[in-house]
Structure 1
Amino acid sequence: MEQNKQLNLLSFSTTNRKVQWIEENNSLQEYLSILDPLKPIAIDIEGDSLHHYPEKLCVISLCQEGFLAVVDCLKGDLSSLWKMLSGCEWICHGMDYDLKMLRRAGCPQPQKIFDTHIAAKLCGFDSVGYADLVSLFFQVKLSKEHQKADWSRRPLPLSLVHYTAKDVLYLEKLKDILSKLLKSLGRSEWMEQSCERIRRKIEKSLSKPPYKDPERIEGFQKLDPFGQSILLEIQRWRQELALSKGIPPFKIIRTEDLIQISSISSQGESVLKIPAVKQLEKSIRYSLLQAIEKGKQNGPHKEPLVSKPFYFMDKESSKRFEELKNKRNKIASSLGLDPGLIASKALLSEMAMDPKTIRQRLIENDKLCPWQAELLGL
């Protein structure tokens, strides 16, 4: 692709905007020189999690006061970009994935984050997707045709550069609109607390493996102890195989199939009748059977890897749970918010089980913000 190619891009007004495709360090320095590190910058990233494993950070889309760029992350030195990004506020939509990928790629923590997804929720909007908000406020319909694209392709097609640039094009305007709405509703502090809580949670998660703990897989708790032990082993088998082949784990075998395999194996039945197992290559199928056998030999699973999200409640706790749930629902209705935004059922269960020390513990563990605790009277 031609270096520094300028691409026409439809904007949210009658003014045309251009986006710069940056592959070389000189081009990156030139772009960074026109940015103000003291002003917020819209940011979005694309990885290749649907195509490769472990996933890579492939491109970063940036926009500040209309200056658009898409940076190739598979080439060159990004240290100067990291330095600039560490000193300013980020505007993003759904910070979880983007921040986690950027931190793992070497980017320091930003000074502050404004997540338009969180802001829209706190404003009480029902549809809070980026495309939904762009359609609502700018009457622009964004295409979703490239959601499953392989962003590690090089040269990157111009259509993909156009596509990803639009993911940041409207973020600055969205921040302005949503900030004013939050201020008028008296929820600006809620916004700051919510973004900070998620940012801290993401930072803590960086020390954990970048794949899902088996106990957090839906269906794990329904398995008997032998089935759980088998799942732990075949999850490890799939992880190692995915790494060796460089493909996402789900392309080897789906998680729901692992649950079925674990359940059937724990009952002493053959897994060869399962369609997903039949479709595996002979050598892979054989290694799966070995992993199942190893899981059986490990004996029943005893100690939990992570704390369970739900609790068995006695009569008094059940009563407190219902009272908290009714209180939460009433507050949510009066504020025009989704009840789950104030507190999930799992959190309500924890509150009901431990009403005396729960506020401090939930806030310290980044499960709850002070504004949520205050609404619930904790």
Structure 2
Amino acid sequence: MTNHLHKGDLPDDLDLGPMVAIDCETMGLIPGRDRLCVVQLSAGDGDAHLVQIAKGQSSAPNLERLLTDEDVLKLFHYGRFDIAAMYKTFGALAAPVYCTKIASRMVRTYTDRHGLRNLTQELLGVDISKQQQSSDWGAEELTDPQIAYAASDVLHLHKLRDKLNVMLEREGRTALAQSCFDFLPTRALLDLEGWPDTDIFAHM
């Protein structure tokens, strides 16, 4: 396993294949307020690519092309937040997408624990550390523990998708889950436009 750190964008010649796991680190949890600091990606091969985003940066052409490539499936865990954060920064809306948190909520109805660490523990037998989750991601230089933490958030999403897809198929919810994934980019836009906590489908 190798972690690659890039400044500003992905390398021009990097091909991450037809399915890429993506996660983001920001200065906080409000995408309209807190800036994007790091985007981490993995092709599912054990390697991770971390892109540091500078304060005020609004363009990353190679990353933007990947986000909007209709032939590349983007895997997220709680993609609603990451999609919004990247759209706010770059104006590139990620699609098509898959979210392991949504899949978990739809099929693991026997629990209310749908965090990434919960999923990796139960479905993969892997315990990932969340110790660096609240560290300063806007720092000019990332520490080795930060890099390792960021990488761990994308290294297992391909295998989690495989496990969750089996469960979705078993419970007859594959098509319904896909409809939710298809709506997810729009849900992220609603968050940015001012409807983060409103159920727009509610009667009242």
AA at the equivalent of 1:68? A
Structure 1 residue ranges, 4+ long, deviating more than 4 angstroms after superposition? none
Structure 2 partner of 1:70 = 50
Task: Give the Cα separation in 1 of the matches to 2:51 and 2:119.
Answer: 25
How far, CA to CA, are the matches of 2:115 and 2:171 in structure 1?
21
Could you report, residue by residue, the CA deviation over 1:79-116 in whole angstroms, capped at 9, with x for unpaired residues? Answer: 12101221122111111211110100114222311110
* CA offsets 1:40-89 (integer angstroms, 9 cap, x no match): 21000000127xx9421100010113142111111875112101221122
In the other structure, the counterpart of 1:45 is 24
Partners of 2:8 and 2:82 in 1: CA distance: 22
Structure-2-length-normalised TM-score: 0.84
Tell which structure's C-alpha radius of gyration is larger.
1
1:1-378 alignment, distance < 5 Å? 17-23=1-7, 28-30=11-13, 32=14, 34-36=15-17, 39-49=18-28, 54-66=33-45, 67-74=47-54, 78-87=60-69, 88-125=72-109, 126=111, 127-208=113-194, 347=202, 350=203
Distance 1:151 1:191, change over 3 A: same
Please tell me the residue identity of whatever aligns with 2:39.
Answer: I
Q: In the alignment, residue 28 of structure 1 is paired with which amino acid?
A: P
Structure (1 or 2) with the greater strand fraction: 2
Which runs of no fewer than 5 residues in structure 1 stay unpaired? 1-16, 217-306, 310-345, 354-378
> 1: distance between equivalents of 2:173 and 2:194?
33
Distance 1:43 1:158, change over 3 A: same
On the 8 A contact 1:86/1:107 being kept in 2, the answer is no
* Superposition TM-score, scaled by structure 1 size: 0.47
**What SS class does the counterpart of residue 149 from structure 1 fall into?**
coil
Q: Which runs of 5 or more residues in structure 2 are unaligned?
A: none
Letter in 1 for 2:165: S
Residues 167-213 of structure 1 deviation map (CA, whole Å, 9 limit, x = unaligned): 0010011011111211122111110122233322222333349xx8x
1:329 match: none
Q: State the structure with bigger RCO (CA 8 A, min sep 6), 1 or 2.
A: 2
Give the AA of the match of 2:127: K
Aligned partner letter, 1:92: F
SS of aligned partner of 1:196? helix
Does the residue aligned with 1:62 lie in a helix, a strand or coil?
strand
Q: Contact conserved, 2:105 with 2:114, CA < 8 A, in 1?
A: yes
In structure 2, do the counterparts of structure 1 residues 115 and 194 end up closer, same or farther at CA, with 3 Å as the change threshold? same
The alignment covers a number of residue pairs equal to 194
**Aligned counterparts of 2:5 and 2:42: Cα–Cα separation in 1:** 12
1:90 aligned counterpart, secondary structure: strand
Question: Of Structure 1 and Structure 2, which has the larger fraction of its residues in helix?
Answer: 1
Is the Cα–Cα contact under 8 Å of residues 89 and 110 in structure 1 kept in the other structure? no
Q: Deviations over 1:199-249 (max 9, x none)?
A: 22222333349xx8xxx7xxxxxxxxxxxxxxxxxxxxxxxxxxxxxxxxx
